[in-house]
Every structure is written in structure tokens, then in C-alpha cells.
Amino acid sequence: MAPLLLLFSVAVLIAAASLYLDNDGHHGPAATLRLTQASWQETVAPGYSAPPATIDSATLPPSWQLVALPFSPSIALLRQAESGASGTPPHAVHVSWLKVAVDGLPVTSRLALYGVRVKTDGTIAVYINGKLAHQAQQNGPSWNSTRTPLWFTLDNGPGSPPVREILLRLEHSPASQTALSSLRLGPADVLRPSYQVRLWLQQQLPAMLSAAFMAVGVFAVFVWLRRPREIAYLLFFNLAATAFLRGLHFYVDLPVANDWFAWLTVNSLFWLVLAVHFFLCQLHQRPLAWLTRGLVAVTLLIGVLTWPLLAVLPNMPTVTPIIYLVAPVMSLVACVVGGYCAWRHSLEGRMVVYGLLACTLMGMSDWLLQNNVISAEGWYLGAYAPAVCFITFGALMYRRYVDAIAEVELVNASLAERLKKREAELEASHQRLREIELRQTISDERQRLMQDMHDGLGSSLISAIRSVERGNISDERVSQILKDCLDDLKLTIDSMEPVEADLLLLLATLRFRLEPRLEGTGVKLLWEVRELPALPWLNPSSALHILRIVQESIANILRHTRATEIRVGTTSGADGVQVHIADNGGGFDVAQTLYQAGGRGLQNQRRRAASVEGTVNWQSNPAGTLFTLWLPLERKA
């Protein structure tokens, strides 16, 4: 904030210095004439009136006094009250006359008269050689003349007489202050840059600063509507609104009555101090109830006493200078107390105190200028108070915004770091789970293989050994048992091959194992399988059950029928697939074989099918047997 304030102050000082040098007769262009001597007198009229078209200064009372320009007559406050209580009629209007003699101006084609400031609350009329050449504020009392430079061009065509006398007629109320800066007369194109720069710095720039502050304040109130707990945004809007009301001097086209203008501009100063005090309390987090009650009471009291509808203090030009002295006292108290509370606890609070102190000093300078304590060519520095407030609170909001972004970035970095650690922990945990799952899978698969070998291969070998030991088995039977054991071992190994949920691939593996054996027996194998949907549940354990069911069915055909042909086919339905095995043997009684003591093979097929939530079915007649295995597309678990 300090560089911004310094840059702003330097820019204002440079502009003021350049204007001062330009207004000085020794430094300005030689073609212009600076008027620094005038004759002054004051008369009384019954009321405001339109200026006459012509006037002869010789007809005015001869009570002229020689004065220097700039002319800032100092009127003490007691003298103002005394003049209001004299025998002057209550609606009387005072008229100040200023006569300036012109001599030595070179003759040019187009002249202009330029003055930095004419201060009055009534009509301004300028006469050149006794003829009315310019008038302003002709609609009664006005409140913006002190911010508007005097400027008009003279109609001095070829043959026009030279300018000999300039007479100014200034109407004003009895208690108001009047002042006139030095005047410059010269070519319009030479004086216009000085006038435009002064007008811009004295009226247009403050208006833009105040409007910009108000625009940001409106943005702040919309932020507050979305975030009601952030009361600082509402206070920022209050600051912007009160600063805008305080700058009504610069909006010359606003239709504000004089009484209401005075009430708004005076009271907005107190509202501004009160809003800054609340802002400070928000920053240093100390309520200061006694100070708050005092400031609110003074603000309300002045607002009521100066309210135009009550007219308790109707003569605003008389009481306004006194009231304006209360505002800096309030501001200084708020500065001292708020600065003390925020000195060690809030850097932002100290920034606000510095800004408030700068605005207070500017306001005191304006009070001195308004009451003719300093030259009429001075500057109303209070016009730039909104810029100071804007810079101060803008820097405050910017700092909070940057800190909020930094805090969010810090939180995001912390979250990212925690997420990274958590991901590493999850990855390590996942790796441990995978290792445990792999060990468990290997253990389960080992257990399954051991159980399958014990139930199938082991029982067959034990049965063969016992039969051999007893000597009641033929060599052919031993060979058949060993072949069955070998086939069972091959099935167990084939079930471990990855089939990727493809039943056709599993059946093809079985065909690879069985086809050489079938060729040795003279039985023809017809392979009529078709495309089938995938079975997601097809794991090694389920694959072994399916292989044993199909193997058992083909083995039964080879052992118990005289078939010369075996057909293997597949079909698919809405909820499952089917494997068909048909032969052209003599057939058998399914019910008798299934439930007799020796039908354990068919029961094993049914049990294995049930373990994969499937079913088996036999259809047999003298022309052959059709075995069907149905398997579901999806299993419940």
C-alpha cells in the first residue's frame, strides 16, 4: 500500500506544481496576462435576482477597497453569527463586487478569461467593459462552484475595443464564505490546457475515483449476499457508499437541493468515520462498546439536528464549519484508540489507521480552504480521500485474497502430500494383500489338487493295489485301472490351464486327450460344437468338475455300450448353455441304473453338476443314449 500512496501523492503534487508554475505570470506564456489586483466592495439586495445586461461600475457605491488576488476574506465564526442577528432582513442577499483593471494586454483575435476558483453560493456574473459576458449558477444557491474553475471566451472580433475593465458580481447568503483566485486573460488556445488540467484534477478525477470506489463497493455487497458471515464486505460497501455521498460536489449534474446536499455531505463524513471504526473493530477483534456507543450517539445527534425536515439548525453555512470540526475529533479518537488496539495484533488494522489519519489530515486542509484560512488557489485534498480509502481497503482486500489463495495452495499441497502418503500406504497394503491372496490361492489350489487326487487317482490306485494283493484281478483290468488313473491325472492337469471363461476351449482340451484313445478302440468321434457365450464363473475347480462329467459320460459309453459313433455338440439358451453327448449303442434303463447300488458313476455326475449349479439328464432307448449337461451363464455366488 505504501508505494501506491506515495505514487498517488507524488502525482498530485507534480500536477499541482505544474499548474502553479503555469498560473504564475513569470513562468506562464508571455501572451497571457495574470491579474492580481482588484477593488472590492459588498452591497445588500432583498433577494436573488438575475444580473442586468449592462452595468457601469461608476454607478456603484464609492466604497471600493483595494485587495490582492487571490482574495479570501476571513470571517470569524462569531462575526458570522452577529451578522445573522443584525437588522438585515431575514431573506437578504449579499452581493460582492470585484473590479479588475486591465492594461497592457496584446490585441489577439480570441481571448479567454480563466480563474482557478470562484467561491460563492449564488449567481456569478462577469462584465467586460460594462457588458454581461458570462453568468453561472443563475438558478439560485449552488453548492458546486468551488470545484468548477471559471472559464469563458470573449467575443472580441475585428474592430472590438480592447478589454479595459473586468467586473465580477457574486451573490451569496449573508453567512457564506466568498473567495476569488487570481485571473488570467489571454488567448483561448494558450489558456485552455491549464483550464482542462485543473478541471480534470479538481472535478473529473475525484468523480472518477469516487465512482470507481462505489463500483467496487457494489461488487462487495454482492459478495456479502453470497457470504453473509463475511461482514467485512458489507462494511466495505458502506465505506464506498458514504465516500460517494461525500463526493457529491463533483457530480454537478445531480439534481440535489442545497439543504439536502448539505445534510448528505456533512453527515456522510460522520458515517464514514463510523464505518471505519466498525472495520477496525472487525480487524483487532475488540468490541470497544463505550467508543462505539459514543460515536453512534454523536452521529445520530448531528443527523437529527441537521435534518432539513426538522430545521433545528436551518442556517447551514453558519453551523457547518463548527460541525466539520467535530468530524476530525471523532476521526482522531477512532485513529488513536483503534491504532492502540491494532498496533500489536493486526497489521491490517494499522493500515486502516494510517489511511484514516491521511483522510483526516486532508479533511482539515479542506476545512481551512473552505473557511478562507488558506489561499483560494489551494487544493481540496479531501477530494482524493476516496482514492486513499480505495487504495487502503483495496490493498486490504487484495492481501486477504492473496493470503486466501496461499492458504488454499498450502492446504492443497498438504492434501496432496497426505494423499501421496496414503496412496503409498494403500499400495503397500494392496501388495501385501496380493501376496496373501496369492499364497492363499496357491494353498487352496494345492488343497484342491490333493483332494482331487485323493478322491480320484488315490482311490483308484488303492483299489488296484488291494485287488493285485488279493490276486483276484486280471492283467487287463489292472491295465484299465491304470489308464483311468492316468486319464484322471491328465484331467486334473488340464483343469489348471487358463481357459478365460471359454467352455469351447475347455472341451477342445478334453478332445485332445480323448481322441487318440478313441481311435484305438474303433469308435468314431463327431465334433459338432458351436460358438458359446462366455462363462465368467469358469475357474479351475469348476473346469475339473465339467471335464470329469464329460469324461465319465464318454467312459460309460466305451465300457457299457457297443457304440461305434459318439457325437459331441453344444447349444446355447437365454440363461445357460448345453453340452450334448450322443451315441449309437444299445441304450440302458436310466432309472434302474441311476438308483441301483452300482450306479455311483451317474450319481457322481449329478453331484458334480450340482456343485456348479448345473444339471444332467439322460435319454436312452435301443437306438442309443443322449446325455445333456446344462450350465448356467451366471452363478449366484
Q: What is the pLDDT of residues 157-176, one digit of tens each?
A: 666 788 889 999 998 877 77
Look at residue 508 in the predicted model and tell me its pLDDT. 83
Crossing angle of helices 258-284/231-246, nearest 10°?
150
Chain-centroid distance of CA 175 in Å reads: 52
**C-alpha grid cell, residue 358:** 491521511
Kindly report the number of other CB atoms within 10 A of residue 32's CB atom. Answer: 22
Query: How is residue 54 annotated by DSSP?
Result: B
Look at residue 423 in the predicted model and tell me its pLDDT. 92
Chain-centroid distance of CA 121 in Å reads: 47
Look at residue 254 in the predicted model and tell me its pLDDT. 67
The amino acid that residue 363 corresponds to is G
Q: Which of 38, 77, 80, 84 is nearest to 57 (CA)?
A: 38
Specify whether the CB–CB gap between 117 and 377 falls below 8 A: yes
Look at residue 167 in the predicted model and tell me its pLDDT. 95
Specify whether the CB–CB gap between 298 and 323 falls below 8 A: no
Look at residue 8 in the predicted model and tell me its pLDDT. 57
Rounded Cα distance between 549 and 601, Å, is: 9
Pairing mode, strands 179-180 and 165-172: unpaired
Sorted by sequence, the CB contacts under 8 Å of residue 530 that are 6+ apart come out as 569, 570, 571, 572
Look at residue 145 in the predicted model and tell me its pLDDT. 66
Pairing mode, strands 576-583 and 565-572: antiparallel
Q: What is the DSSP string of 434-469?
A: HHHHHHHHHHHHHHHHHHHIIIIIIHHHHHHHHHHH
Look at residue 142 in the predicted model and tell me its pLDDT. 52
Rounded Cα distance between 131 and 54, Å, is: 5
Specify whether the CB–CB gap between 635 and 575 falls below 8 A: no
Q: What is the DSSP string of 83-95?
A: HHTSSS-TT-EEE
Rounded Cα distance between 369 and 378, Å, is: 7
Low-confidence ranges of the chain (pLDDT < 70): 1-31, 74-91, 104-109, 138-145, 157-159, 252-256, 311, 314-319, 445, 447-460, 463, 466, 470, 472, 477, 480, 483-484, 487-501, 596-599, 637
Q: Which of 197, 135, 141, 192 is nearest to 169 (CA)?
A: 135
Crossing angle of helices 540-560/503-521, nearest 10°?
30
**pTM over 0.85, yes/no:** no
Look at residue 78 in the predicted model and tell me its pLDDT. 32
Look at residue 82 in the predicted model and tell me its pLDDT. 38
Q: Which of 214, 210, 295, 310 is nearest to 260 (CA)?
A: 310
Q: Which of 206, 555, 178, 571 is nearest to 388 (CA)?
A: 206
Rounded Cα distance between 244 and 18, Å, is: 28
Rounded Cα distance between 255 and 261, Å, is: 10
Look at residue 25 in the predicted model and tell me its pLDDT. 39
Query: 3-state secondary structure string, 60-84?
Result: CCCCCEEEECCECCCCCHHHHHHHH
- My answer on whether omega of the bond before 516 falls inside 30° of 0, hence cis, is no
Rounded Cα distance between 192 and 196, Å, is: 6
Specify whether the CB–CB gap between 499 and 540 falls below 8 A: no
Q: Which of 49, 254, 271 is nearest to 147 (CA)?
A: 254
End-to-end CA distance of the chain: 71
Rounded Cα distance between 382 and 400, Å, is: 27
Backbone angles phi, psi at 172, to 5 degrees: -160, 160
Q: Indicate the SS3 state at residue 164.
A: coil
